[in-house]
A and B are shown apart, each in its own frame.
Chain A
Amino acid sequence: MIVTQLNLLATGVLQAESVPNDGVGSTSLNPYFAPLKEVVIGGLATLIVFALLWKFAWPAIAKGMSDRTARIQKDLDESAAARKQAETDAAQIRTSLGDVDGERTRLFAEAEAQAAALLEDGRTRLSQEVAEMEAKAEADIAAAAGRGADDLRADIARFSSQAIESSVTSSLDDATQQELIEGFIARVGAGKVVTS
């Protein structure tokens, strides 16, 4: 905007000095070259414009460009970082996937080992319980048999005792009693008795 205004001002000055104002418009005398005065003034004006631009606009432009460069660089850096991060994440994911596979394999192996151990332990415990139950059953059978035998012996002894006493008592008639007494007297007389 400022440059355009300065050019229009310089053009107006030159036109007023080199070409008469006929009321129709600006007219150059040479169709190929501008008047020298106009070139000089135009050049100076241009220089001034460029100087002003260099003095006042360039720092802002340079700053803007620098900022843009920095921003672009920042974006590039961020992109690179993001890519690096993405690659790292991808690597971690791949590693994790690998770890997951390994962990899964390990867990499966551990589970199988535990299952095998449990199965073996169960078999062992079951075998022990079966053995204990068999031993207990055998002991119970033996005890029951023993009790039965003891009861039978006791019954036999009791019935035998009763039978013996009944038989002996019934067979002890008077003659037998006298025989026992005479036998005792004879043995005592012969010194064939034992005292207690």
Chain B
Amino acid sequence: MSDAQIQGYARALFEIARADGTLDEVEDELFRFARSYEGSEQLRNTLSDDQIPAEKRQAIIEDLLDGKATRTTTQLVSMVVGSGKARDLPAIVDLLVQRASSAKQLDTAEVRTAVALTADQADRLKAALENATGKRLNLKTIVDPSVVGGVVATVGDDVIDDSVRTRIDQLKARL
């Protein structure tokens, strides 16, 4: 899919969520689903398989997100998958998040941890990152077991990597 089409889908999702009044929640849920989609080969293969009928793929989406995400989020993801654009879902969601952050005059901060952050930890981490970068941030947290431990925070082009994975890799390289 071309960049223009991806931007078109992102703008459409953004406008629907904003019109629905659930932009923050939908944005966050879409971001988490996109990361899960990236991290699961089985999910990618299933949702992007054109041999599987669109209705069945949409049923899988609804089954996965039922009770775990808002109805708007479920419908938006189902729409993208049903239109055969599942491969571009992460890119569409990233643009949506950027657009949402821009609308709130915020920069996106992506934080990866091996275990889920508590709400308090997320708030304090957001404040710390805003203090360190001097920017107002839209914090997006991702549970990524490959981090092993610690935190990897990405704000724009800046990466703050304090993960156990990186330390192990550095130690391996020295060995």
Contact = CB atoms under 8 A, between A and B. Distances in A.
A, B bound: yes
Interface of A: 156-157, 160-161, 164-165, 168-169, 172, 174, 176-178, 180-189, 191, 193-196
Interface string B141-175: 00000001111010000111110100010011001
B114 A188 contact: no
22 contacts: A161-B171, A161-B172, A168-B148, A168-B164, A172-B149, A180-B151, A181-B113, A181-B115, A181-B125, A181-B150, A184-B150, A184-B151, A184-B162, A185-B151, A187-B162, A188-B128, A188-B129, A188-B132, A191-B131, A193-B132, A193-B160, A196-B159
Interface residues of B, number: 27
Contacts of A174: 115
B16 interface: no
Given A172-B148, A180-B150, A188-B153, A193 B164 contact: no
B54 interface: no
Which one of A165, A185, A193 has the greatest number of beta carbons of chain B within 10 Å? Answer: A185
Q: Give the dominant DSSP class at B's interface.
A: mixed
A161 B172 CA distance: 6
B121 A181 contact: yes
B158 A195 contact: yes
Given A161-B172, A177-B113, A185-B125, 16 more contacts: A164-B171, A164-B172, A172-B114, A172-B164, A174-B115, A177-B115, A180-B149, A180-B162, A181-B115, A181-B125, A182-B121, A184-B153, A185-B151, A189-B132, A191-B132, A193-B160
Q: Give the dominant DSSP class at A's interface.
A: helix
A169 B127 contact: no
A113 B172 CA distance: 69
Nearest to A192: B132
B117 interface: yes
B124 interface: yes
Which one of B117, B128, B159, B161 has the greatest number of beta carbons of chain A within 10 Å? Answer: B128
